[in-house]
Amino acid sequence: MEKGNFVDYIRIFARSGKGGAGSSHFARTKFNPQAGPDGGDGGRGGHIILRGNAQLWTLLHLRYYKNVLAEDGEKGSKDNCTGKNGQDIIIEVPLGTIAKDEETGETEVEILEDGQEVIWMRGGRGGLGNSNFATATNQAPEYAQPGEMGSEGWKYLELKILADVGLVGFPNAGKSTLLSVVSAAKPKIANYAFTTLVPQLGMVQYRDNRSFSMADLPGIIEGAAEGKGLGHRFLRHIERNSVLLFLIPADSDDHAREFEVLYDELEQYNPELLHKQMIIAISKSDMLDDELKAAISETLPKEIPHIYISAVANQGIQELKDLLWETLNTDVQA
């Protein structure tokens, strides 16, 4: 099930562990029944940690992980023994995951690298035992600290696909077909709108064993920034793409107008998206002659490079890869 197997949003209740209480204990030995305070400190409560895993591409494995409760720290004990720390909980997430607090909407953690570990919610500190409070004037303190409470609240994890190139276009623009030709990805392809309901990620092999990643994203419709169609669930994935490849079919009624609608939807959703590198690809161009290509080129924005391709006829594909590779590396060096 294509739709069910891709999960990019999870709401959970999370609570880090409470710190263990310090011990209020006095040593008593055979030869010294009042040897003094020897209460140990309490253990730290368990942390909740997020770890990046490049082998994951969805939050599906967390779908039924609704309550994340870390272990409390143990109490301190006699002989200045510190209590055991509560066991940490490590949650593995795909790269591009952000963690937010539901009440404030604040982004608390962002995972971008494989193996990256970030303490999302810290466990409470263990309380100090009474041996820490002994002084020259108070040699037998009966006081020990309680452990600190952990933190808790409703949180959500949100995935934004990390890809070098994001395919942007109306439904049925040929994005899935292009991805299937340039990579080993096998997205669903059919001749109707919204064939792609979830992002598809593929690795594009380039010259000299180099590669870059490309994401086929669900198609935009006019009004997507306001939530129409797949709306925000689609648009947020564009935020992590280095280069945006606008795909406009050759049989479009108005190529320039189609690009303007796509451009305007991105601007309404997040104006910062317009600072990304952009390329326009006219797909299905095997049906165009040189005269028609020249006429279309006259209507397209001069400041954005464009190229004519046909995934089915395998025309212009290598030239597109060259242009994307050059643009990606220019972006890195800028």
Q: Are residues 167 and 155 in the same domain?
A: no
Out of 125, 159, 193, pick the residue that ends a domain.
159
Pairing of β 107-111 and β 48-52 = unpaired
- Based on the fold, state whether residues 107 and 49 are members of the same structural domain: yes
- Which pLDDT does position 222 carry in this prediction? 53
One domain, residues 144 and 16: yes
In three-state secondary structure terms, 328 is: helix
Q: What is the pLDDT of residue 331?
A: 46
Task: Identify the pLDDT of residue 272.
Answer: 85
Q: Which one of 112, 138, 159 terminates a domain?
A: 159
Q: What CATH number corresponds to the domain at position 67?
A: 2.70.210.12
pLDDT for 74 equals 96
Question: Do the strands 277-283 and 241-249 form a parallel or antiparallel pair, or are they unpaired?
Answer: parallel
Residues 223 and 324 in one domain: yes
Whether 196 and 284 share a structural domain: yes
Tally of domains within the chain? 2
pLDDT along the chain (334 residues), means of 10: 64 95 84 77 96 88 88 93 95 92 91 94 94 85 92 91 84 80 60 52 86 78 47 66 91 91 85 89 91 94 94 91 91 42
Looking at the structure, tell me whether residues 239 and 329 fall in a common domain.
yes
Claim to verify: residue 177 and residue 296 sit in the same structural domain: yes
Residues 6+ apart with CB under 8 A from 136: none
- In whole angstroms, give the CA distance from residue 144 to residue 83: 13
Q: What is the pLDDT of residue 182?
A: 85
Domain extent for 100:
2-159
> Do 233 and 325 share a domain, yes or no?
yes
CATH of residue 207's domain is 3.40.50.300
306 within 8 A of 250, measured Cβ to Cβ: no
d(CA 179, CA 200): 9
- 111, 130, 159 - which closes a domain: 159
Look at the pTM and tell me if it is higher than 0.85.
no
H helix or E strand, kind and range, residue 166: strand 163-168
Question: Do 225 and 266 lie in a common domain?
Answer: yes
b/e code 92-123 from CB counts within 10 Å (16+ = b): bbbbbbbbbeeeeeeeebebeeeeeeeebbbb
Q: For residue 240, what are its two tokens?
A: 């992590």
Are residues 154 and 181 located together in one domain of the fold?
A: no
79-118 pLDDT tens trace: 889 999 999 999 999 888 999 999 998 999 999 999 999 9
Residue 263's CB is within 10 A of a number of other CB atoms, namely 18
- Distance between CA 269 and CA 261 in Å, rounded? 12
The pLDDT score that the predictor gives to residue 186 is 58
Q: What is the pLDDT of residues 238-278, one digit of tens each?
A: 777 889 999 999 988 899 999 998 898 888 888 888 888 99
Cα–Cα distance list, 42 to 20, 36, 135 (Å): 4, 19, 20
Handedness of CA 126, 130, 131, 132 (dihedral sign): positive
Same-domain status, 180 and 327:
yes
Question: Within this chain, do residues 203 and 116 fall inside the same structural domain, yes or no?
Answer: no
The DSSP element (H or E) to which 176 belongs, if any, is helix 175-182
Q: What is residue 16's three-state secondary structure?
A: coil
